[in-house]
Amino acid sequence: MNQKFPLLTTSIQNIREDNFICANYVDGDDIVLIGFPRGAFTARSVANMIATVSLLTPSGLGHFYAVFEDYESMTDANRDLTLFLDPQVLPYDGEKVKAKRGWEKKRKLQYEEWLTKNGYTRHKYQDGTTEIKIKAIGVCILLEHRASPQRQSSVYADPPNNKLPIY
């Protein structure tokens, strides 16, 4: 692992994993993401990216890095709007607290629709009706794992009644 740029290394790992899923996904495949202590962040990040922007199409993979940059900066109110792929991305008008969360949600939805309209992502099987969903994320931890002070492991509890969220 690159000690000088750990976040860059993690981001590149996320890109590689998501790219593999997009390139090899066939309708009906189960997407199972399992992360051990140091891969747990990658598993959660990839699952969140798929849940947020869905699976990229072959033409979307050609814009993978730009989509990834947009995804990472979607809630950044200070990002230059000309850097987004979507030229009509919803600008930040100084919304606060609850209104800012509403702005973030609208912006993500608008961007998701733009990606789909331009053929960069798909949210449904080829039949056009069945939604692609992530049903669960497995994060494995080793309780005796000694992580460096910069990379402390976290313990996650099961949801009530062991019902896993659908993203």
Range 36-55 average pLDDT: 76
- Find, among 153, 118, 116, 151, the residue nearest to 131 by Cα: 116
pTM above 0.75, yes or no: no
- Find, among 7, 67, 70, 73, the residue nearest to 41 by Cα: 7
CA-to-CA separations, 110 to 27, 42, 142, 143, in angstroms, rounded:
25, 25, 40, 41
| Residue 17 scores a pLDDT above 70 | no
HSE-CB of 17 using CA atoms within 13 angstroms: 23
The 10 Å Cβ neighbour count of residue 64 is: 16
Q: What is the pLDDT of residue 90?
A: 87
Asked if residues 9 and 1 have their Cβ atoms less than 8 Å apart, the reply is yes
Q: What is the pLDDT of residue 93?
A: 87
Most confident of 46-60, 85-99, 124-138, 145-159: 85-99
